[in-house]
């Protein structure tokens, strides 16, 4: 018997086993979307440009409308088409309804005891029900209308006071400064029933504390280290637990003080409509913990304060660049409202062009251009690619709203497009998604639209807006600041000229609620 080749038999068997195992591995390995090549450990973190949604839009031109981007060792899938947005937010909505939480977000939200950072499950369903049926129900929004209108008239009064000063006539003002005041007072009065800032812009003691808490929370939440994206490096990048605990205690102390004030006031004078009163009244009905009530109140503040300012400032920037659109909106306001009274929310139904203007501003300049990320709670397929459980999914609504395959002249500010076609912006049409869609759609979308429409309506009805002398439309800086929301990189400056003859129409008549 020839034994010359006997040693080759085990080697052949081993080689066959290795090849078989490799084929099985390759067959079972997830087929991930294409994307820029990641670096070891850090992934694509150091390749991403500061304004992420623009960077991802550029990369989509190379890798396609679905791509893999690695934040350290965490897979992030970015989609940039309306068809894929529908797959994420409707077809696979439940599988992608969880929320990734940074370590600081987990601490602030008490591990998702609020709404924004909660994973999808019984808690989320309950809190969402509270928002839909109680907090943002049409009846409650209507009851709170006097507060919204009161604060917008306060904004008008402050602009009128500044632009009619002898030394200020014909001079530009910083639009954002006036928008921020109305947004601040609006959200604090709606949520807490408190007007921390007086008509001169001076805050009381609680207001100073409130603003400091907001600013400190943004600072702590924005300070993300490499440890957030590479879990096994977290020992090198520990959280500042002391600062986070101190912030949480400070926030809770102020909130509980206000809650106690409202409890005493309700005992004396009956039910109120503010969100804090509603939540305290509904606490036992929905079995809401104190952490959930506090979390919901601060969700409203963080989600509602900046987004309104952002949308209105971008809209005003487009209006000073496009006098034709401004004039058309003002002609509609003069025709419907006239010049002997001021606009109210009751007029909105008769101002279709103003409504289209708001939609166009939200299309071109969505306040949260990447939305908040979704997290896969199971393995799922998108566009034929495998999305493993635990992956994060981002919808680039900024890119979708500028897609030339979907929109005619997508970069043009043209409100008429919404007259030519009835397009929903509250989550039913995946071409324009300023409020998201599906299970995670913003429950306060209608409130946000009311605020933006009211602010823009007053600004256009009561003032004419022009660029500063010598400035051309193309000189307006239309770039964005880096961050989760899209503030203008250079705050808009414009010249306001009163349009109405009666000075009394520029005076605020305070409403107490």
The alpha carbons of the chain give a radius of gyration, in whole angstroms, of: 26
Q: What's the CA gap between 144 and 141, in Å, rounded?
A: 5
Mutual angle of helices 175-192 and 290-321, in 10-degree steps? 150
Report which of 84, 94, 89 is spatially closest to residue 399, judged by C-alpha positions: 84
SS3 159: helix
Q: What's the CA gap between 121 and 332, in Å, rounded?
A: 46
SS3 231: helix
The values of phi and psi at residue 83, to 5°, are -65, -45
Tokens 């086993």 -> residue: 17
- First-to-last CA distance in the chain? 104
| DSSP assignment of 316-327 | HHHHHH-HHHHH
The annotation places the binding site for heme at 442
Q: What share of the chain is helix, strand, coil (3-state, %, to 5)?
A: 55, 10, 35
Asked if 67 and 77 count as a contact pair (C-beta separation under 8 A), the reply is yes
Q: Please report the beta strands in 52-120, taking only residues with DSSP state E, as ranges in sequence order.
A: 66-71, 74-79
Q: What's the CA gap between 96 and 99, in Å, rounded?
A: 8
The annotation places the binding site at 442
Report which of 157, 503, 199, 495 is spatially closest to residue 326, judged by C-alpha positions: 495
Q: Which residues pair with 374 in a beta bridge?
A: 393
Token couple for 421: 């076609």
Residue 411, CA distances (Å) to 84, 363, 429, 434, 471 in order: 21, 10, 19, 16, 21
Alpha-helical regions (H) of 131-274: 138-143, 145-163, 175-192, 205-222, 241-269
Q: What's the CA gap between 207 and 163, in Å, rounded?
A: 27
Q: What's the CA gap between 301 and 308, in Å, rounded?
A: 11
Token couple for 258: 């206000």
Asked if 179 and 484 count as a contact pair (C-beta separation under 8 A), the reply is no
SS3 254: helix
Q: What's the CA gap between 458 and 155, in Å, rounded?
A: 9
| DSSP assignment of 379-404 | -EEETTEEE-TT-EEEE-HHHHTT-T
């Amino acid at each position: 018997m020839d034994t010359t080749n006997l040693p080759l038999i085990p080697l052949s068997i081993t080689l066959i086993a290795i090849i078989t195992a490799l084929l099985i591995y390759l067959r079972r390995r997830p087929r991930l979307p294409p994307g820029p090549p990641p670096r070891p450990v850090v992934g694509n973190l150091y390749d991403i440009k500061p304004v992420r949604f623009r960077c991802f839009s550029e990369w989509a031109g190379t890798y396609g409308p679905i791509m893999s981007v690695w934040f350290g060792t965490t897979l992030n899938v970015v989609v940039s088409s309306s068809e894929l947005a529908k797959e994420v937010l409707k077809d696979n909505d439940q599988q992608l309804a969880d929320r990734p939480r940074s370590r600081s977000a987990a601490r602030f939200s008490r591990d998702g005891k609020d709404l924004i950072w909660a994973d999808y499950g019984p808690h989320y369903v309950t809190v969402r029900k509270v928002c839909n049926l109680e907090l943002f129900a049409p009846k409650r929004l209507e009851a709170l209308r006097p507060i919204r209108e009161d604060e917008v008239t306060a904004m008008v009064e402050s602009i009128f006071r500044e632009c009619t000063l002898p030394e200020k006539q014909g001079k530009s003002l910083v639009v954002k400064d006036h928008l921020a005041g109305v947004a601040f007072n609006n959200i604090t009065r709606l949520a807490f029933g408190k007007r921390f800032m007086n008509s001169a812009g001076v805050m009381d003691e609680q207001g100073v504390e409130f603003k400091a808490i907001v600013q400190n929370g943004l600072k702590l939440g924005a300070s993300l280290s490499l440890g957030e994206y590479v879990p096994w490096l977290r020992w090198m990048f520990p959280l500042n637990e002391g600062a986070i605990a101190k912030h949480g205690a400070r926030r809770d102390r102020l909130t509980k003080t206000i809650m106690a004030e409202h409890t005493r006031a309700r005992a004396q004078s009956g039910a109120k409509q503010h969100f804090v009163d509603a939540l305290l009244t509904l606490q036992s009905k929905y079995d809401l913990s104190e952490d959930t009530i506090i979390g919901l109140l601060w969700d409203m503040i963080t989600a509602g304060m900046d987004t309104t300012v952002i949308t209105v400032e971008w809209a005003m920037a487009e209006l000073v660049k496009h006098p034709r659109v401004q004039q058309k909106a003002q002609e509609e306001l003069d025709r419907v409202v006239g010049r002997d009274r001021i606009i109210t929310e009751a007029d909105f139904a008769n101002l279709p062009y103003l409504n289209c203007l708001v939609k166009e501003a939200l299309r071109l300049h969505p306040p949260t251009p990447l939305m908040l990320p979704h997290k896969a709670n199971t393995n799922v397929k998108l566009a034929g690619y495998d999305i493993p459980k635990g992956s994060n999914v981002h919808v680039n609504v900024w890119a979708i709203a500028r897609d030339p395959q979907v929109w005619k002249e997508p970069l043009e500010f043209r409100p008429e497009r919404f007259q030519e076609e009835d397009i929903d912006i509250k989550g039913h049409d995946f071409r324009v998604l300023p409020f998201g869609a599906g299970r995670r759609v913003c429950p306060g979308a209608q409130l946000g639209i009311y605020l933006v429409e009211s602010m823009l309506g007053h600004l256009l009805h009561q003032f004419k807006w022009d660029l500063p002398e010598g400035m051309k439309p193309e000189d307006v800086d239309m770039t964005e600041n880096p961050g989760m929301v899209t503030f203008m990189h250079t705050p808009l400056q414009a010249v306001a000229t009163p349009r109405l003859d009666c000075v009394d129409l520029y005076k605020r008549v305070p409403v107490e609620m």
